[in-house]
Amino acid sequence: MKVLVATEKPFAKVAVDGIREVVEKNGHTLALLEKYTDVNDFYAAVADADALIVRSDKVTKEVIAHANNLKIVVRAGAGFDNLDLAACTEKGIVAMNTPGQNSNAVAELVMGMLVYAVRNFYNGKSGSELMGKKLGLLAYGNVGRNVARIAKGFGMDVYAFDAFLTAEQIEADGVAHAVANQAALFETCDVVSLHIPATAETKNSINYDLVGKMPKGGILVNTARKEVIDEASLLKLMGERTDIRYITDIMPDADAEFKAFEGRYFATPKKMGAQTEEANINAGIAAANQISNFFATGCTKFQLNK
């Protein structure tokens, strides 16, 4: 079987080597399409692939239409808003993700960006500390839990809300305090870190009203998806509330407008959350193993389009 790795933002070499080893050990062949800039190159590469590994690469209806032999696509990562699941299902293609494999990398970046922000981007001016501050986690899944664990080490007081978990489930590990709803999280916390997927319900949900509930000096951290932010209303709020800061690993469409808020806004030039050797190895090799198991035994653990 031919396994294509199509990554506009490539994995670290050590991860590609690991993926190759798993694929070849299982009797398959590996094809690589890295740093492509023309979607036609993706269409051409996927034409005879039996399996596909991607990151945030968009697996659209068109990609699926060009895939004549495709049986399985694995998003090496957590968020799968880049996969057209209906198009996969229509063609009988199994779609999977690799939940949890890159979550520590994202969580470490959250804390790194936070320190960078509270120390005024290392500009020499006196900043503030995280110890004793209240951190709110919007969603308490794999990434949220890792952020909570690390934030505890900083001496932060951790709160969480998750639409799919009860207060008992959130508090079971003894790290975070559950709050009743999203609004309460923003009202309570000095820092709110987003760990929600981009879905019909969450798109544009982080807005003027919600962020406006934050106490003085509130910091919003986004390592989730840019689509969850209502950019126009956040810009409006930051214009009115000169104390609010926005730190993001996903550059907003309105980057130029946000940049006007000097000292209160930071965006990484390219999404860096999962961009570590360890996360690339974990997610990439998990994807290769899931594909190999699927071909060997029909295993569909982590299938998204059941």
Give whichever of 280 and 292 is closer to ligand 3PG, judged by the CB atom. 280
113 binds ligand 3PG (CB under 6 A): no
Give whichever of 56 and 290 is closer to ligand 3PG, judged by the CB atom. 56
Q: Give the shortest CB-102-to-ligand 3PG separation in angstroms.
A: 5
Mask of contacts with ligand 3PG, 1-20, x by CB under 6 A? --------x-----------
Q: Give the shortest CB-243-to-ligand 3PG separation in angstroms.
A: 29
Q: How many residues of this chain interact with ligand 3PG, rule: CB under 6 A?
A: 11
β-pair partners for 220: 192, 246
Of the candidates 39, 34, 32, 44, the one whose C-alpha atom is nearest the C-alpha of residue 9 is 34
β-pair partners for 5: 32, 53
67-86: contacts with ligand 3PG (CB under 6 A): 77-79
Side chain identity at residue 28, one-letter code: H
C-alpha–C-alpha distance, residues 94 and 39, integer Å: 22
271 binds ligand 3PG (CB under 6 A): yes
Q: Single out the residue of 20, 55, 133, 195 in contact with ligand 3PG (rule: CB under 6 A).
A: 55
**In what side-by-side order are the strands of the sheet with 2-7?**
29-34, 2-7, 51-54, 72-75, 94-97
Please tell me the chain's helix, strand, coil percentages from 3-state DSSP, rounded to the nearest 5.
40, 20, 45
C-alpha–C-alpha distance, residues 206 and 251, integer Å: 15
CB 2 within 8 A of CB 48: yes
C-alpha–C-alpha distance, residues 102 and 95, integer Å: 18
Give whichever of 104 and 182 is closer to ligand 3PG, judged by the CB atom. 104
141 binds ligand 3PG (CB under 6 A): no
193 binds ligand 3PG (CB under 6 A): no
Instruction: State the residues that interact with ligand 3PG by CB under 6 A.
Output: 9, 55-56, 77-79, 102, 271, 273-275
